[in-house]
Structure 1
Amino acid sequence: MQAERIQEKLEILADAAKYDVSCSSSGSNRKNTKRGLGNTGAGICHTYTEDGRCVSLLKILLTNHCIFDCAYCVSRRSNDIKRAAFTVQEVVDLTINFYRRNYIEGLFLSSGIFKDADFTMERLVLVAKKLRQEHHFNGYIHLKTIPGASDELLYEAGLYADRLSVNLEIPTESGLKLLAPEKNRKDMDEPMDYLKGEIVRTKEEKKIIKSTPKFAPAGQSTQMIIGAADETDRHIIQTANHYYATYQLKRVYYSGYIPISHDKRLPGIGAAVPAIRENRLYQTDWLMRFYGFRHDEVLDEQHPNLDLDIDPKLSWALRHLDQFPVDINKSPYELIVRVPGIGVTSAKKIVAARKFGKLRLEHLQKIGVSLNKVRYFIICEGFLPLKSDKPAVLLKQYILAESQSKYQKALSSQLSLF
């Protein structure tokens, strides 16, 4: 009976946790000891579902009971669903047993809020504390911090967890007020600010005092639900940019709204956010963090939403054809990395390789550059850009048609093997 009860709880609370996508384990460096269990590092194993969610961690809620009634949340107070709650020891036992069976590499633990923020946060912290101190568990732990919890509990959480996160939930304050009137943005900002300060302080202190304990070594992250309110992609990216700059977040996650309610404040049932919109937002996020793009370059008042047909870098390039073609053999890295089809690694290889001679198209192919997009935007030895005089709309059609043709050829080639 005990095993059946735990299994039922696991089914309910693991299913409820699937709406939270912010469970990346990159960035931690927790080393094992001779008496310890598990090891967290850059090589931690991940498994991803088709929609991009990480499932290598035991990903559960402590409970789906909640005092709040947020319109977009499946665990909201007014929703008629089956409720369950784990005890602290049950979560600890599940984590250790699953780890020993090689099912997981760590724990991602969130929770509905029951009683109040401190009551809930105290139990989340206790799970991590027992894993670290009683079981010497060195695997990855990601805890969701509860807005409104005390600084003392947040500090303790940072001592035991690799990453902490506070969900922004809705990108705009107006959307949050509409869909979750019991919550406010200030309660989310304050713990982020506190965590940022402690992360910076402990890093600086550790440079002087080596025995200083680690504090959230994988940093902090957040998640936004997109499509539940009427925000544009520009609003979303502006918010992400603000939180990256202000609170030094490691990641912002974008979770497409899944229709779960007939609430008139929400999009209708069947109006699920297309997965491609999530993908385009992640691509834009990548451009800001690794390619040197400003948020207002990718999206502006004239273009408030991302093009779902093409990736955001290609979309930007088609709107700024005056900046192309880029001479591969002469232009600085900062311009080369903006060429559609050239990634960060390829751009670095190009800059390094051209020291030994003029680069041609065949050299770019050997480097790993796909010429499908690139050849419309570059100059290199013995090559001028194709159709560079065409309007952006027509050039987009050329590139899309060519991409579709290559896809069909690849598919036909694969089918011919059967």
Structure 2
Amino acid sequence: MFDLILKNITQRKLRTGLTVFGIALGIFAVIVMGGMSEHFNLTFDRSISLTADKIRVLPEGGLFGASLNESKVRDVKRVPGVLDAYGVLQAPLDPENIAFFGGNVILGIPPEKQQLTMKDTGLSQGRFLTAGDNYRAVIGSSVAREFNLNAGDELEIKSKRVQRTASVTRARNFTVVGIMEYTGSFFDNSVLIPLSTAQRFYGRTGTVSFIFAVPDSSTDTEDLAKRIELNVERVTTFSPEELRRQIEQSLIIFSLITISAAVLAAIIGGLSVMNTMLMSVSERTKEFGLMKALGAETKDILFITVGEAALMGILGGIIGIIGGGAFVYYLNDYLASRGTVLFTITPRLIMIAIVFAILLGILSGTYPAYRAAKMSPMEALRYE
């Protein structure tokens, strides 16, 4: 049977090649779009895991760009169950060139809290920030690669302020004192500088973007987050569990959008399989009639026809995975030189792609196979 399937496919090389190419394009789209979805899922998961022991306290409503008065840090510390709390100021590294997918960010933190913030993260070069550091910075691995920096080099950081009716941009060189190891999280695109320096440089004295609250080991983080909201005015809190739920809901929507586009492309490839198999069945009507007359059973005709469709699905899937993987590899390599990565190919994604390709081939070949199997030998032999 298998040799007959291979013979039938190779006899129509051009048609088979075009059909396989159609499936390959669909699976290529699945790999590329799915790789983007997988990357964001993994990045968010690793980012949360690094700060999974902390509650985030944001301005009421969690509005982007809003600020908290630094006095809120003291208010949060007074809430029973809070072991420690400190503010973080966040700003874009280059306010004139903000990337669509986040880009590089400045994180102003108290130097003594850096290692607490970057839990379990080591350094590939240099040291962490220390008390007394002024215009010093510890940078993520992606930032170091993008700007080709080593410990001891200078990094230009810009701030943009609105003065009356005009905006003024000023720049200052910061000395890189440390480079963090790769984490696979948003911290790879971060530049950590002392909080007091960040406040002065950005003209935001006495304010922070959000607060990290460290709960006592015996305290339930969900309950503590609610107590902080009740005891501290005009703030919104996110426990690690709540933040994970919020992000997962957003990622589900993002994944549905990206995967839907890829699946649509794959289905179009499946229609090409169905078209090819219908033409093949029509051309081989007498052949199937002769096979039945010689004793072939209905299941044999079904197996041959569906087998051909499945084999084309497998070939298209393999080519699509290889092509998509190569495209993602070279695009990631190009993007890495600019400090970002957008795709991650996981074993799960490869398995989904190959299974989808096989199912696509089988389902697309089912109707042509049914038409071939239901023919009576006499009708098939009289077919012109």
The normalised TM-score by structure 2 is 0.25
Specify which structure has the bigger relative contact order, considering alpha-carbon pairs within 8 angstroms and separated by 6 or more residues.
2
Q: Using structure 1 for the length normalisation, give the TM-score.
A: 0.24
